[in-house]
Structure 1
Amino acid sequence: MTENVSSQFKDGSYPADLGVKIETAGDAQSRLALPYEERNTMFGLVHGGAIASLVSISAHAVAREPSRAAAGSLRSVSMHVGYVRAARKAVTVETRAVRRVRELGFSETLITDEDGNAVAHASSTVSDAGPDSAPAGSPPLLDPPEGELAGVALSDDASGGVDGAIRAAMAASPFLSRRQLRLAGVRRGAVEMAMDAAAMNLDERGAMHEGAVLTLIDAAGATCPWTVVPPSPGASGATIALSAQILGPLPQSGLVARAVVRARDARICWTDVAVVDSASRRVRAFGTVVYRFSEKSGS
């Protein structure tokens, strides 16, 4: 089984670009490792998108049992990640199968750092049912909700304003820069972010890797709160939970995430994220990001 999973991590594929190493992989459990490298960080910490990616990669390793090796590509129809603490060191990912029901595999994942400290825990539901059966010619489409993202535009002054601060933060993250993310639009309570179909974002079939989609959801969902709480000196925050659903096979073209703040209190912000195919505008994934501001962050 380990050889079967390892074959996915080819040069240029998403897991290989992250530096993921398989220690064990079988039908009941998997154990992966991610070395601490600058390319997977933001402000010296392992990026939340990288952590979410590890959950997907390890859950797929467990779900890809030999008897189903010829089945269609796997996808996480549901996933929830809870972030326990920031990671400043190499991490280990352990996933165990909970149950299998027809085409669905349920699993639990624990991510720890090299000192044994819990970094994140997650639950996943993976399907090997193959392409969805929606009637041809009637794909779900997403139009920007009126008053939310319609007419979103960036400021002409790239060095000032919220958009300038967001782009500066993205540029300072080796992980996000390597994923070739870019801010496409921003206004109060809404963000549009794009990801290209670059080689390091693809799977072995040349389609966008699920981990890249999770990174896009995390990045857009964690960025959007700063449009309602403008960045200021000493202000900080962190993603404390991410939920995602992958709706079907992912495309070979780029993706666009549209994030909208749905609710917030003094410390917590809830953001919905829809990911669409940049070519057809077909909806490819949904997600929710729960983000927590530090005490120094203003209102």
Structure 2
Amino acid sequence: MTETLRARFEDGSYPADLGVQIEAADEAESRLVLPFDERNTMFGLVHGGALASLVPIAAHAIAREPARAVAPPLRTVSMHVGYVRAARKAVTVETRAVRRVRELGFFEALIRDADGNAVAHASSTVSEAGSAPADAPPLADLPAGGPAFVAPADEAASGVAGAIRAAMAGSPFLSRRQLRLLGMRREAIEMAMAAAAANLDGGGAMHEGAVLALIDAAGATCPWTAVPPSPGASGATIALSAQLLGALPGDELVARAVVRARDARICWTDVTVAGGASGIVHAFGTVVYRFSEKNGS
């Protein structure tokens, strides 16, 4: 493990804000630890966005070792994470390189808690071809079929928005991401993430992990616009998929989430992430969310 690699976890950027510690890394595998710290939690559990963040962080640690040293910035092209258990303790992510072909690296990861229980499993594809901006279209308006986004003003919408804002404010992890609820309607939500220092990489751009956290937050919040929160109601993300489109900006990002399908227990939400000022799309994601048995449908 190089000192340069270790320094990346101490430079004040997003991985450092999470407190990620690197235990081992070479050209074949890496092992990282995320401490159980209040700043990474929501409702006393490690936030799903923090767990998803470990996937690109760990894969990049392998790709950057001397045997595969590259000059251009690495970028995650695609990833998928499945959550199998809530984490109430520190977690370890063990990642291995499955294959490398041309500029692409394929990785798989297993996240376990301090007792050795599986928490999540993931796969990712990383490009070593650099971070040229992708030719992505501006963020389109929501499809027809519902009222426009509201601030919101009516009593029912305000109640849901208030509960969402309270949940976001009550999560140390989301509070550190400086998220804001911009608007909502039934089965749709718009959320912004500030370009705060704790959300950036060492080069001043939004960190991929922070983008994944935004996708998770928007995708897991959106279902509650269809099933308003009630006392004792709960749920959890059971899967997250994401595609990152080239270089990320160093400016505010906006996520727009739309419920695509749901049944009594599971909700499938698509999320699009774009630059707050430019409107250029930088990432797509899908979040699969499961309601607890106490929730109505």
Tell me if 1:122 matches 2:122: yes
What residue in structure 2 maps to residue 147 of structure 1? 144
CA contact (8 A) 1:2 1:22 kept: no
CA distance in 2, matches of 1:284, 1:64: 23
Report if the CA contact (8 A) 1:10-1:204 is conserved. no
**Pairwise CA distance, 1:84:** 0.7
Greater alpha carbon shift after TM alignment, 226-235 vs 60-69: 60-69
2:213 counterpart residue number? 215
Q: TM-score, normalised by structure 2?
A: 0.95
Amino acid at match of 2:229: P
Where does residue 108 of structure 1 map in the other structure? 108
Structure 1 residues 113-262: aligned runs within 5 Å: 113-132=113-132, 139-147=136-144, 151-156=148-153, 160-262=158-260
Cα pair 1:149 1:191 within 8 Å, conserved: no
**Match of 2:288, SS?**
strand
Counterpart for residue 25 of structure 2: 25
Decide which moves more: 163-172 or 144-153. 144-153
Residues 159 and 257 (structure 1), Cα distance of their counterparts in 2 relative to 1, 3 Å cut: closer
Give, in whole Å, the separation in 1 of the partners of 2:140 and 2:127: 27
Conserved? CA contact 1:30–1:62, under 8 Å? yes
Classify the secondary structure of the residue corresponding to 1:93: strand
Q: Give the root-mean-square deviation of aligned CA atoms.
A: 1.8
Deviation at residue 155 of structure 1 after TM alignment:
2.0
Alpha carbons 2:133, 2:246 under 8 Å: kept: no
Alignment of 1:5-84 (within 5 A): 5-84=5-84
> Which range moved further: 243-252 or 3-12?
3-12
SS of 1:225 mapped into structure 2: helix
Secondary structure at the counterpart of residue 253 of structure 1 = coil
CA distance in structure 2 between the aligned counterparts of 1:14 and 1:62, rounded to whole angstroms? 18
Q: CA deviation at 1:266?
A: 1.2
Structure 1 residues 17-50: Cα deviation after superposition (integer angstroms, max 9, x where no partner): 0000000011100000111010100000000000
CA contact (8 A) 2:63 2:69 kept: no
Contact in 1 for aligned 2:148/2:185 (Cα 8 Å): no
The aligned residue for residue 298 of structure 1 is 296
Structure 1 counterpart of 2:89: 89
- The TM-score with structure 1 as length reference comes to 0.95
Which AA in structure 2 matches 1:82? Answer: G
Q: CA deviation at 1:227?
A: 0.6
Partner of 1:4: 4
CA-CA distance at 1:279 after TM superposition? 1.8
Q: Which amino acid aligns with 1:85?
A: R
Residues 45-102 of structure 1, C-alpha deviation per residue, up to 9 Å, x if partnerless?
0000000001110011112232553421111111000001000001111001100011
Report the Cα distance in structure 1 between the residues aligned to 2:121 and 2:293, rounded to whole angstroms.
25
**1:180-217 alpha-carbon deviations (Å, 9 max, x no partner):** 01111111010101000000000000000000000000
The code of the aligned residue for 2:48 comes to G
Distance 1:88 1:213, change over 3 A: same
Matched-pair contact (CA < 8 Å) for 2:36–2:90: yes
Q: SS of the residue aligned with 1:50?
A: helix
Corresponding pairs, count? 296
Note if contact 2:11-2:202 (Cα within 8 Å) is conserved in structure 1: no
What is the CA distance between 1:153 and its match in structure 2?
A: 1.7
Q: In structure 2, how many angstroms separate the alpha carbons of the residues matched to 1:96 and 1:77? A: 17
Contiguous gaps of at least 5 residues in structure 1: none
Shift of 1:12: 2.3
How far residue 139 of structure 1 moved from its aligned partner, in angstroms, is 4.5
Q: CA deviation at 1:141?
A: 1.3
1:192–1:220 contact (8 Å) kept in structure 2: yes
Range with bigger deviation, 3-12 or 284-293: 3-12
**Alpha-carbon distance in structure 1 between the residues aligned to 2:211 and 2:203:** 15
Higher mean alpha-carbon deviation, 34-43 vs 10-19, is at: 10-19
Structure 2 unpaired stretches of 5+: none
Structure 1's 103 and 207: CA in aligned 2 closer, same or farther, altered over 3 A? same
